[in-house]
């Protein structure tokens, strides 16, 4: 239990930041392209409580972390927040602009992963071990949770960001066909995650992106 609480303390801040800024980024870019729905709902906010989903933000990641500790096996940490309300009809160019609104979430996760990587390097380079070790552990967690959230959301499955980005660039007929999957997308994803099918796709992507980010800072 002590090990679980220690890991929870390390992962909590990076996970909350990753999910909060991911969702706020959608709302911010939607507002920039003409849709004020998220702003009016109070979702362009750095307050995590406005974005937290009790199951997806708290229970699922904590359960994955606990299961990983109990089994000793690595696991891809993932979760979700309350979806930011977007009204595509209020965007100035709905089909084109939705690409950027959807891509804002994974984009901010990539930026945060790079930021945590820089903190990781600075901590190990300039700080004494007493401060460097816990800070580097948190920065390492920050890299992992942001990369995981990014690659998960880039899957081409609506309502994930990758699915909505693909809908925005496809011709009308296939775009419409793919958009019809959206009501069932989360159920499909959960089945794929529980069966291990999603992990076989996501894990190599996670490792490749994380390794590339670490390589950029010389690790």
| Enzyme catalytic residues | 23
Given a contact cutoff of 8 angstroms between Cβ atoms, the answer to whether 123 and 139 are in contact is: yes
Given a contact cutoff of 8 angstroms between Cβ atoms, the answer to whether 42 and 96 are in contact is: no
Beta strand segments in the chain, E: none
Given a contact cutoff of 8 angstroms between Cβ atoms, the answer to whether 146 and 112 are in contact is: yes
CA distance 78 to 64: 8
Closest C-alpha among 150, 158, 208, 162 to residue 188: 158
Structural element, H or E, at residue 57: none
């Amino acid at each position: 239990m002590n090990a679980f609480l220690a890991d929870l303390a390390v992962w909590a801040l990076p996970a909350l930041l990753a999910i909060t800024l991911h969702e706020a980024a959608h709302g911010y870019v939607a507002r920039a392209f003409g849709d004020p729905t998220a702003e009016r709902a109070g979702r362009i906010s750095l307050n995590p409580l406005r974005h937290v989903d009790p199951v997806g933000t708290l229970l699922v990641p904590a359960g994955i972390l606990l299961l990983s500790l109990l089994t000793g096996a690595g696991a891809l940490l993932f979760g979700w927040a309350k979806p930011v309300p977007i009204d595509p009809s209020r965007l100035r160019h709905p089909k084109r602009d939705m690409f950027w609104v959807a891509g804002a979430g994974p984009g901010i996760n990539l930026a945060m992963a790079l930021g945590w990587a820089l903190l990781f390097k600075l901590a190990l380079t300039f700080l004494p071990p007493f401060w460097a070790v816990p800070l580097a552990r948190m920065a390492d967690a920050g890299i992992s949770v942001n990369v995981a959230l990014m690659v998960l959301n880039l899957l081409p499955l609506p309502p994930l960001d990758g699915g909505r980005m693909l809908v925005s660039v496809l011709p009308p007929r296939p775009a419409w066909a793919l958009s019809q999957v959206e009501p069932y997308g989360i159920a499909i994803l959960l089945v794929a995650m529980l069966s291990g099918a999603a992990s076989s796709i996501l894990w190599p992507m996670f490792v490749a992106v994380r390794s590339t980010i670490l390589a950029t800072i010389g690790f």
